[in-house]
Amino acid sequence: MDTKNIGLRGVEVADTKISNIDGERGKLIYRGYDILDLTKNSNFEETAYLLLHDDLPNQAQYDDFVHKMREASWIPKRMQINMANWRKDADPMDMLQAFVAALAGYYDEEFSNKEASYDRAINLIAKVPTIIASWQRIRDGQETVDPDSKLSHAANFLYMMSGEVPDKEIEKIFDICLILHADHTFNASTFTARQVASTRAHMYSAASAAIGALSGELHGGANYEVMRMLLDIGSEDKVESWIKNRMDEGQRIMGMGHAVYRTYDPRAQVLKELSRKLAEKTGDPWFKITEKVEEVTKAEMKKRKNADIYPNVDLYSASVYYMLKIPMDLNTPIFAISRVAGWAAHVIEEKFAEAAPKPALYRPKAVYVGKYCGPEGCEYKPLDLRDS
C-alpha cells in the first residue's frame, strides 16, 4: 500500500466550491474570500450565508436570512424536558450528537430539492447553539433561557448560556471565533458529513455523524486538551521544563502542528490576537503561558529535529474560550456551533453537486492484510474439534 495515502492523505475524493486551504502560504478561503478579510469585515450570519449560497448576500437577502435564523433558534420544550432526564455529568458532545439526530423527529426532513435544503440548513445552524446552551443550564440546575430575537447569533448563545447579554467587545470576539471555525475543507467531521450525505441520508443524520467525528481529541477535542495542558503548566515560568519533559517522553504538544499548513495557520493568527486582547481585559495569565508554549515548542523542534512547527487553530482558541468563561467541556460543542454551517453547505453540495460527477456514494477500497489460508479460504472446524 502507498503509505502516503494512509488516512486518505492527499487523495482527491470530490470537487468543492466551498473552501480551500493553501497550506504552503497559510491561506484559508471561503467561496473565494480570504478568512482574514471576513474576520475584519463580516459577521457569522453573513459568513454562513456565503458558505451556503456561494456569494455574499445583498441587504434584502441578508435581512431575510437573519430573520429566518432568529425565528428558527427555538427548540421544542419537549427536547429540553428530555435533556433533564440525562445524567448531569454526561459528555456534552454525546448530548449534542443525540439531540441533533433527534431534530428529525420534530421537523420534516423532506430533502427532494435544493431550495428546501436551505431551510433545513437554517433550522440546523440556528438550533445547535440553543441545544448546547439549554444543556448547560439544565445540568447546572438552572432554568433554560429562551433565545432573544434582538441579539446576534454570537450574543444569543452567550446570553442563553449565562443569562446575561455580553458586552459588544465580547460579542465581537466570539463572533470572530465562529467565523474562523465555520469551514475547513474536507477535515474529518466534514468528510464524515459528506460521506453520510452521499448515501442520501438526511441533513440531521449527516450533522449528527459529523459531531461524532468532531468529538475526538485529534479533531474538535484538541482545544480541550490544550486547556488541560495550560492548567497543568500553571504559570509562565514552568513552560520550558514542562514542554521539554513532554518532548523527552515522545509526547506531542497539543495545539502545535497541522496536517495541511506548513506555515502559520491563519486562524491561529487571529485567535492569538483575540487571546491577547482578552488577557488585557481580564488580567488572566493564559495568553502569556500559551505564547510561551508556542515559543518553546518551536525552539525545541528546531533544536531536536531541525524542523519548523507552528500553532494550529486549537492553541489559542483554548485560552480564548476559557477567558470567555465558557466551561472547558463545551469547547468542542462550541466548535460545532460554528462548523455546522460548513457541514450544512457540504451536505447540500454533496446532494446537489453541479461540479464534476462522482459515484453515488463513497466506497473506498481497503487493503486486506489479515489471515490468508489459501484460495479456498480457511477450513471451518466445529467447536469441539478446535484447539483449546
State the pLDDT at residue 262: 83
Using the predicted structure, report yes or no on whether residue 356 has a pLDDT greater than 90.
no
Rounded CA separation 28/264 (Å) = 11
111 Cα distance to chain centroid = 24
Q: What is the pLDDT of residues 13-45, one digit of tens each?
A: 889 999 999 988 999 999 999 999 999 999 999
Using the predicted structure, report yes or no on whether residue 137 has a pLDDT greater than 60.
yes
Give the rounded percent of residues in the chain with a pLDDT score beyond 90.
Answer: 77
Q: Say whether 19 sits in a helix, a strand or coil.
A: strand
Out of 1.10.10.10, 1.10.580.10, 3.40.50.720, 3.40.50.300, select the CATH number for domain 15-219+325-351: 1.10.580.10
State the pLDDT at residue 5: 62
Using the predicted structure, report yes or no on whether residue 246 has a pLDDT greater than 90.
yes
Using the predicted structure, report yes or no on whether residue 266 has a pLDDT greater than 80.
yes
The mean pLDDT value for 254-280 works out to 92
CB 275 within 8 A of CB 290: yes
If one counts every other C-beta atom within 10 angstroms of the C-beta of residue 219, the result is 17
CB 304 within 8 A of CB 247: yes
Domain ranges of the chain: 15-219+325-351, 222-322
Rounded CA separation 295/138 (Å) = 40
State the pLDDT at residue 308: 94
Q: Is 355 exposed, middle or buried (0-12, 13-18, 19+ CB in 10 A)?
A: exposed
Give the rounded percent of residues in the chain with a pLDDT score beyond 70.
Answer: 96
Rounded CA separation 351/203 (Å) = 10
12: left (phi over 0), alpha (psi -120 to 50) or beta: beta
Using the predicted structure, report yes or no on whether residue 355 has a pLDDT greater than 70.
no
Q: Residue 28: enclosing H or E segment and its boundaries? A: strand 27-30
The mean pLDDT value for 122-127 works out to 97
Mean pLDDT score across all residues of the chain: 92
Catalytic residue annotation: 219, 258, 314
Using the predicted structure, report yes or no on whether residue 373 has a pLDDT greater than 70.
yes
Using the predicted structure, report yes or no on whether residue 368 has a pLDDT greater than 60.
yes
Q: How confident is the model at residue 357 (pLDDT cuts 50, 70, 90)?
A: low
Residue 259, C-alpha cell as written in the block: 496536517
Rounded CA separation 99/105 (Å) = 10
State the pLDDT at residue 14: 86
State the pLDDT at residue 365: 83
Rounded CA separation 245/297 (Å) = 11
Helices (H), the chain: 35-41, 44-53, 59-71, 77-83, 92-102, 114-139, 153-162, 168-180, 188-197, 203-214, 222-233, 239-248, 266-282, 286-305, 313-323, 331-351
The mean pLDDT value for 60-79 works out to 97
What dihedral angle (degrees, nearest 10) is formed by the CA atoms of 175, 179, 181, 185?
A: 170
The DSSP secondary structure of 135-185, one letter per residue, reads: HHHHHTT-------TTS-HHHHHHHHHHSSPPPHHHHHHHHHHHHHTS--S
Q: What is the pLDDT of residues 148-174, one digit of tens each?
A: 999 999 999 999 999 999 999 999 999
Out of 3.10.50.30, 3.60.150.10, 1.10.3730.10, 1.10.230.10, select the CATH number for domain 222-322: 1.10.230.10
Enter the DSSP assignment of 305. H
pTM attached to this predicted model: 0.92
For the chain, the maximum distance between any two Cα atoms, rounded to a whole number of angstroms, is: 77
Residue 38, C-alpha cell as written in the block: 471576513
The DSSP secondary structure of 48-94, one letter per residue, reads: HHHHHHSS---HHHHHHHHHHHHHTT---HHHHHHHTTS-TTS-HHH
The mean pLDDT value for 317-334 works out to 95
Rounded CA separation 331/381 (Å) = 52
Enter the DSSP assignment of 311. B
